[in-house]
Structure 1
């Protein structure tokens, strides 16, 4: 079993200490065969119930991540199923990736890790590093929600705030990555192995069959890539007959994935950027952009850009039906109407809308919206 650079085809040994190729390209774990219903460990109430689908012989660093609720709520005239990823231990879907990534790094003997994040990734890596007995340094933009910074520090992490944009923070992390182990939720291949369990879990939620569509928000696109990996493996194992379509939302103020998707393969894309209340998506240059676009196209999916006022309205309306989602999450809910308006999403389809993080993670912004 190896890492693969999908852009060049080059292969590398499956070493958790390696997080990118020699030429700087992102890596993934080579294609795995997937599992069937009989291989799910139903006695384990965490993502590790899908351990047979994960690479290597890992000793889990687990806080009970996964097995999040899929609930049906009324949404603008239609019954809609929402996957509540904020039931994860630190309040966001990032715990799936952190659990598997930190488990791999712990097995390799790592004691200190570095992560860069706009908030949720940092607090997640901080928690799992603490659970593994590691020390963590988190780099975050100065504009990061105070609640997320506090959460990382509560787990014992050192948090350094970086002036400028989210991309400035990523650049600073790359500069420091030679000094310690870089446990990046955007770069590390084992992180995607954790996020792919969302696909397995939706398969189980829908009675061991695939939903027709999954609507999600994207920043760097780790959910999109995880869903692509997981559903691809289920297709390979014969557990599902086809891939669900991936319908991907971004804020109009920061939508490089949407802009590149609409431009088409091979087109140069120039995108304007402005601040967004969906801070978890504020990534101008996703490191795996070609792979994210390929995943959406492979599924027969689509993208959409959502205006700030629509994100704010969706945040309020979700709270009005009992779902306290941060604005980043609410972007996916806002997209449901737009995809329906376009005829991309039919009301009678079996659809899951992924709500990635809790409104408790963005208290300052929520206070201006509700």
Structure 2
């Protein structure tokens, strides 16, 4: 395997992974990763480890991985004849963010920083805290002061220090990035570090395996910072380029109506975010991101897939949470957004998969 290299998608600046700053030094934007995935042998997966590390040919970290908590391989269950749900809330820390957090913690373990910092609205911070605990790394997580007490309690339980930041998600990210500039600090950013995306892409590799070497016609994902969507796009591109799938699914991106800058830009036909998109409070706090740093990449990925953006109002989020609970699935409000969106979306003969990303125990009922 060629050694992975960071590359800035905006200006093509490159940097070695083991000596790079947390962002592009020229534009302060997020990194992509130059990495050539190998073909995963579908017929040989049966005897492999029961975690996302079973797709080792597709991952940029090789060799023994002591940080793992057995993340991945979550169930795929039908909700209707056309829509199935992937139960990523059954991860070790009860959210899909474990897929990327294990990659960041393992990378940090190999780089041996003095400390790890992260920022989050809750789930990513919890996941990073848990995997840093597993790796024996000191960790500080910056969260908005209004974050669910159940989430901050979980972060602290893993031994991480919690920094409560007055203000919104943007203010929290700014505080963490200031800390990340300090020497000896590894910024475990689920937005800026592309290793996180190479973890979330295993969501699609699992679908591909579970469906016998194919993918559904539509993959629906909630989008705030876009980490699951961009990971899904990565996996689809890799599987297609290696000849492991012949058709690419459409990506349907879901936002809360209250905070929907990407949906606004998509339907306006623009390549980037509008200058001043209005926002309002939303139950879907995990995707309430007014200005995601990877906005251009997210918009391009959805357009290239032939997909679209959908938005859901607060009453449909509440109703979707109760509906899933009545089906035996207790999911947090952010995690039900995709099911809320698909309730009225015509699919025809196509099949779709929605992720149930976080457990209801983290937040309670909306």
Query: Counterpart of 2:255 in 1: which secondary structure?
Result: strand
Distance 1:244 1:42, change over 3 A: farther
Mapped to 1, the partners of 2:361 and 2:323 lie a distance apart of 16
Segments of 5+ residues of structure 2 without an aligned counterpart are none
Query: Counterpart of 1:35 in 2: which secondary structure?
Result: coil
Distance 1:176 1:111, change over 3 A: closer
Return the match for 1:250 from 240, 255, 276.
255
Aligned positions of 1:26-175 closer than 5 A:
26-36=30-40, 37-38=42-43, 40=45, 42-60=47-65, 61-74=67-80, 78=81, 80-175=83-178
Quote the residue 1:277 is aligned against.
283
Q: TM-score, normalised by structure 1?
A: 0.92
Tell me by how many angstroms 1:7 deviates: 1.9
Mapped to 2, the partners of 1:267 and 1:283 lie a distance apart of 14
Count of aligned residue pairs for this structure pair? 357
Tell me by how many angstroms 1:261 deviates: 1.0
Tell me by how many angstroms 1:242 deviates: 2.2
Quote the residue 1:315 is aligned against.
321
In the alignment, structure 1 residue 196 sits paired with structure 2 residue 201: yes
Tell me by how many angstroms 1:39 deviates: 6.2
Q: Check whether the contact 2:8–2:24 (CA below 8 A) recurs between aligned residues.
A: yes
What do residues 56-106 of structure 1 show as CA deviations (whole Å, max 9, x unaligned)? Answer: 4353210010000001124xxx55210010111000000000111111111
Mapped to 1, the partners of 2:17 and 2:43 lie a distance apart of 27
RMSD, aligned CA = 1.6
Quote the residue 1:350 is aligned against.
351
Mapped to 1, the partners of 2:57 and 2:37 lie a distance apart of 10
Q: TM-score, normalised by structure 2?
A: 0.93
Quote the residue 2:221 is aligned against.
216
Quote the residue 1:236 is aligned against.
241
Tell me by how many angstroms 1:16 deviates: 7.2
In the alignment, structure 1 residue 187 sits paired with structure 2 residue 177: no
Quote the residue 2:362 is aligned against.
361
Query: Counterpart of 1:148 in 2: which secondary structure?
Result: helix
Tell me by how many angstroms 1:325 deviates: 0.9
Tell me by how many angstroms 1:182 deviates: 1.0
Segments of 5+ residues of structure 1 without an aligned counterpart are none
Distance 1:177 1:158, change over 3 A: same
What do residues 240-268 of structure 1 show as CA deviations (whole Å, max 9, x unaligned)? Answer: 01221110110011111111111113476
Query: Counterpart of 1:339 in 2: which secondary structure?
Result: coil
